[in-house]
Amino acid sequence: MFGMESYGLTIRPRMASRGRTRLHKVGADPLKQSGFAVAEEGVLKIRDLHVEIGGEPILKGINLTLRKGEIHALMGRNGSGKSTLANVLMGHPDYDITGGTVTLDGEDLLELAAWERARKGVFLSFQYPQAVPGLKVGNFLRKSVQAVHGDDTLSAREFRAELNAAMEALDMDKKFLGRYVNDGFSGGEKKRFEILQLMLMKPRIAILDETDSGLDIDAMRTVANGINASVDNAACLIITHYQRILEHVQPDHVHVLIGGKIVASGGYELAVKLEEKGYEWLEQEASA
């Protein structure tokens, strides 16, 4: 696990070298080099995933593999199925899965309830975080981290230290801890709070659903730093409309979702191209 210092606002070195090969690649693993067969850890595999809501097909065969240390961006217009994918991965009960599989390190994720997935290390930063009046932020954070980490939970003191460091990194006032979860929060406060949870829960699979929407430039930079500090040990799926946040959290892979299918995948340059040219050229290609 990363230490407190990684919550700092220093920009990660990877920002400077776009598109370079990541250090964690399989070949660097000494166990692998020595010939031991080791199951990959922190690998989320989505295979031919079909999802409906109320009889209406939303996702029509998604294939995606996320590995520890990778940042994937999933882009697409409203209604393309981005948030559906996020909710399905987390285990929202409203969706009907009509085909395909999702596994985490080989284990069937779709069989598990949302809270079980959370305890396996899946985290969703919500597009619309829900308010729970009367439930204090501090209490909620401690309880949630305990729920997710189980026996590995930090002592109260260590937790407090991590919490303080993370809040400082996110430029959040201590008073925040005494407020009620998402109750009366501004849009920006909600997003910061999601990232605070991300930093404390240290998931293996982090799904960020439009975490950038409604943030001004400064807030976006702060939030992006929070994400960067958390993704070293996680596979990260960033769902967004815009290329903007990707300038700060640079993805290894960019995927474009149109009409429930991934129609294009590429590197960061794909996001840049989308920003310049919009989605139309892809839509034309997809329907051609």
Partner 1 sequence: MSNEAREAVGDYKAGWHDPEQSTIRFDAGLSEQVVRDISELKNEPEWMTDIRVKAYHHFMARPMPTWGSTELLNSIDFDKICYFLRSGDGTKGDWDEVPEDIKNTFEKLGIPDAEKKWLGGVTAQYESETIYHSIREDLESQGVIFLDMDAGLREYPEIVKKYFCSIIPYQDNKFSALNTAVWSGGSFLYVPKGVHVELPVQAYFRINSENMGQFERTLIVAEEGSSVSYIEGCSAPTYSSDSLHSAVVELIAMPGAYIRYTTIQNWSNNVYNLVTKRGVAYENSTIEWVDANVGSKLTMKYPAIILKGEGAHGEVISVAYAGEGMHQDAGAKVHHLASNTTSKILSKSISKDGGRGSYRGMVTVSKKADNCKVNVVCDALILDGKSRSDTYPTMEIKNSSCRCEHEASVSKVSDDQVFYLMSRGHSEDEAMALIVNGFFEPFIRELPMEYAVELNKLMALEMEGSIG
8-state DSSP, 130: P
Q: Is 135 in the site for partner 1 (CB under 8 A)?
A: yes
Give the span between the Cα atoms of 203 and 102, in whole angstroms: 17
For the chain, the C-alpha Rg in angstroms (whole number) is 19
Backbone torsion region of residue 227, taken as left when φ is above 0, otherwise alpha when ψ lies between -120 and 50, otherwise beta: alpha
Closest CB 64 distance from partner 1, rounded Å: 20
Q: Let me know: does 32 contact 38? Beta carbons within 8 Å.
A: yes
4, 9, 140, 267: which one binds partner 1 (CB under 8 A): 140
Q: Which is nearer to partner 1, 181 or 262 (CB)?
A: 181
Q: Let me know: does 191 contact 224? Beta carbons within 8 Å.
A: no
Task: State how far the alpha carbon of 246 is from the alpha carbons of 2, 99, 165, 226, 274, in Å.
Answer: 22, 31, 24, 13, 12
25, 143, 174, 277: which one binds partner 1 (CB under 8 A): 143
In the range 200-229, which residues lie near partner 1 by CB under 8 A? 201
Closest CB 114 distance from partner 1, rounded Å: 4
73, 82, 123, 250: which one binds partner 1 (CB under 8 A): 123
124, 220, 229, 256: which one binds partner 1 (CB under 8 A): 124
98, 115, 174, 186: which one binds partner 1 (CB under 8 A): 115
Give the span between the Cα atoms of 276 and 22, in whole angstroms: 27
Q: Let me know: does 87 contact 110? Beta carbons within 8 Å.
A: no
Q: Is 159 in the site for partner 1 (CB under 8 A)?
A: no
In the range 180-199, which residues lie near partner 1 by CB under 8 A? 180-181, 197
Site for partner 1, rule CB under 8 A: 90-94, 113-115, 117-119, 123-124, 126, 128-136, 140, 143-144, 147-148, 180-181, 197, 201
